[in-house]
């Protein structure tokens, strides 16, 4: 059976949220991201800024050089998360078959809805714009790969200072023809390195790849070669994954300036452990292993891990393990560029059922309640609202 897949991508999402907060930003070149004084990068930039050559993931310093009038705004993740949730809620109202890929991107399988995909896409786009004030672009196709490429092509064809609000539908049967003229790197999963290797074979467009003997690609790229042939021909039967099970939860921080003092490192590790614990609890998961990652100023990267005595999502237990690893790994005054805390070995915590469904008072239950309350407050009013004593710098 032919499927109908929508790929919904919010246009310059962080910027759109900022414009909602401050309508005077509309039409102006601005970027959301890290501090220009340090090593901050552009997380999202307005379409006016894009005209000056500013792009996502570009160092803020470089963006300012390209566009001196660029307004730099700090990221407000809590606000973006809230907007994202509102969008996902509306997608979920259309169908349960929603796969959220990132904060501003999702796939929908609408095969069961009799209306044409393009009609659904128009209605969804209007709804998100009218109810939430957010622009989005939508690709419609018979599979995830082509739908995503359709979104990208639709966005690229709109050339102006305002969000593209593109909708592009690729009719069933025309997938290969649609992809053929596009450059190889437009194919989802083809990065700069793969594109270079393909170019060395004289394969510059997706059509070139589709015409190349699959066996030859497989001999050069291994298993991925076969996938590449299929994808280039517009074939992709990956299903919509409605429930995403993460393998690990982690948090990393690159310091604006290399850090040599223990207190800053410990405070950062503690904050990261707290964040990881919060995300685990929200996902209703526990982890068995804590990982600590350290990168020195010369980019040497070390990772060490330790097992937790019990699978846990408890801030203090994660922090304690991370802190022990930090003490083992880090010698005083060695400059640290990056530090990160992660938890792996994730699973669901089993729960002993009660004869009367009355929970036995557990010593940590109060703790867990406190932590989830703090998490909720932070989600609604921002991380800085409530802080643990250990996070507050000594004056």
Partner 1 sequence: MKLTCMQDNLNRGLSIVSRAVSARSTLPILSNILLSTDNGRLKLAATNLELGITTWIGAEVEQEGSITIPARLLTDFVNTLPNEKVHIELTGGQKVRVSAGHSSADIHGMDPEDFPVIPTVTDEPTVRIEPGLLKEMISQVAFAAASDDSRPVLAGVLVKLENGSLTMAAADGFRLAVKEHEVDVDATGISVIVPAKALDALARLIGDAEEAVEITVTPNRSQILFHSENVDIISRLVDGNFPNYNQIVPKQHETRTVVDTQEFLRATRRAFIFARDSQNVVRLQLEPGDDLRPGRILITATAAEMGSGADELQATIEGTGGQIAFNAKYLADVLAVVSTGQVALETQTANAPGVIKPIGNGSYTHVIMPMHMANR
Report the interface residues with partner 1, using CB under 8 A. 245, 284, 288-289, 307, 310-311, 345, 347-356, 358, 360-361
Report d(CA 81, CA 98) in Å as an integer.
17
SS3 84: helix
Using CA atoms, how far apart are residues 204 and 184, in angstroms rounded to an integer? 6
- Our CB check for partner 1 shows the closer of 191 and 350 to be 350
Told to judge if 105 belongs to the known catalytic residues of this protein, a careful annotator would answer: yes
User: Would you say 300 or 352 has its CB closer to partner 1?
Assistant: 352
Nearer to partner 1, 160 or 362 (CB): 362
Which lies closer to partner 1 via its Cβ, residue 350 or residue 389? 350
Shortest distance, CB of residue 240 to partner 1, whole angstroms? 18
Residues facing residue 169 across a β-bridge: 140
Give one DSSP letter per residue of 25-76, joined into a string.
GTTS-EEEES-TTTT-BEEEE-HHHHHTT--TTSBHHHHHHH-TT-EEE---
Please, which residue, 57 or 355, has the CB nearer to partner 1?
A: 355
Residue 324 CB, nearest approach to partner 1 (Å): 18
* CA-to-CA dists, residue 211 to 27, 185, 236, 289, 334, angstroms: 43, 16, 17, 47, 54
- Round to whole Å and give the CA distance between 190 and 195: 6
**Those residues with Cβ within 8 angstroms of residue 98's Cβ, 6 or more apart along the chain or in another chain:** 88, 91, 92, 106, 107, 108, 240, 242
Three-state SS at 367:
helix
Q: Measured from the CB atom, is 239 or 349 closer to partner 1?
A: 349
Nearer to partner 1, 200 or 355 (CB): 355
Task: Answer yes or no: are the C-beta atoms of 343 and 248 closer than 8 Å.
Answer: yes
Q: Which residues contact 328 (CB under 8 A, 6 or more apart)?
A: 304
Nearest in space to 368 (alpha carbons), one of 346, 349, 340: 349
Provide, rounded to whole angstroms, the least separation between the CB of residue 305 and partner 1: 10
| Strand, helix or coil for residue 200 | helix
CB of 1 to partner 1, least distance (A): 27
Helix residue spans in 192-314 (DSSP H): 192-200, 206-211, 214-221, 223-232, 262-282
C-alpha span between 262 and 240 (Å, rounded) = 45
By C-beta, is 274 or 312 nearer to partner 1?
312
Contacts of 251 (CB under 8 A, 6+ apart): 272, 275, 276, 340, 341, 342
- In whole angstroms, the minimum distance from the beta carbon of 353 to partner 1 comes to 4
- Which of 19, 105, 175, 317 is flagged as catalytic? 105
Give min distance, CB of 89 to partner 1, in A: 22
What distance in Å separates the CA atoms of residue 32 and residue 222, rounded to the nearest whole number? Answer: 40
Q: Indicate the helix (H) or strand (E) that contains 94.
A: helix 77-94
Active site residues: 105
């Amino acid at each position: 059976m032919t499927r109908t897949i929508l790929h919904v991508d919010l246009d310059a999402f962080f910027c759109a949220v900022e414009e909602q907060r401050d309508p005077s930003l509309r039409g102006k070149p601005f970027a959301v991201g890290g501090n220009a004084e340090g090593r901050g990068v552009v997380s999202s930039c307005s379409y006016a800024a894009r005209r000056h050559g500013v792009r996502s993931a570009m160092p803020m310093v470089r963006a300012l050089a390209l566009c001196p009038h660029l307004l730099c705004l700090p990221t407000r993740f809590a606000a973006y998360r809230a907007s994202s949730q509102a969008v996902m809620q509306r997608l979920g109202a259309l169908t349960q078959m929603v796969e959220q890929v990132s904060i501003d991107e999702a796939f929908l399988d609408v095969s069961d809805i009799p209306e044409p995909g393009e009609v659904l896409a128009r209605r969804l786009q209007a709804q998100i714009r009218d109810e939430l004030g957010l622009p989005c672009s939508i690709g419609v196709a018979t599979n995830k790969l082509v739908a995503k490429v359709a979104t990208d092509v639709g966005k690229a064809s709109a050339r102006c200072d305002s969000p593209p609000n593109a909708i592009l539908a690729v009719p069933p049967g025309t997938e290969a023809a649609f992809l053929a003229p596009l450059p190889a790197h437009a194919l989802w999963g083809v990065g700069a390195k793969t594109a270079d290797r393909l170019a060395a074979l004289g394969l510059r467009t997706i059509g070139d790849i589709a015409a190349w003997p699959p066996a030859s690609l497989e001999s050069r790229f291994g298993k991925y070669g076969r996938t590449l042939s299929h994808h280039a021909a517009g074939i992709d039967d990956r299903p919509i994954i409605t429930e995403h099970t993460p393998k690990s939860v982690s948090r990393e921080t690159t310091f604006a300036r290399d850090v040599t003092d223990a207190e800053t490192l410990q405070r950062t590790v503690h904050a990261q452990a707290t964040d990881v614990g919060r995300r685990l609890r929200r996902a209703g998961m526990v982890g068995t292993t804590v990982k600590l990652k350290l990168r020195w100023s010369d980019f040497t990267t070390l990772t060490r891990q330790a097992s937790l005595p019990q699978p846990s999502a408890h801030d203090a237990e994660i922090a304690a393990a991370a802190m022990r690893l930090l003490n083992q790994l880090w010698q005083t005054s060695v400059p640290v560029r990056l530090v990160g805390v992660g938890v792996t070995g994730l699973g669901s915590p089993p729960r002993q059922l009660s004869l009367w469904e009355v929970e036995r008072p557990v010593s940590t239950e109060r703790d867990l309640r406190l932590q989830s309350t703090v998490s909720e407050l932070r989600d609604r009013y921002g991380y800085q609202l409530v802080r643990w004593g250990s996070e507050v710098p000594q004056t």
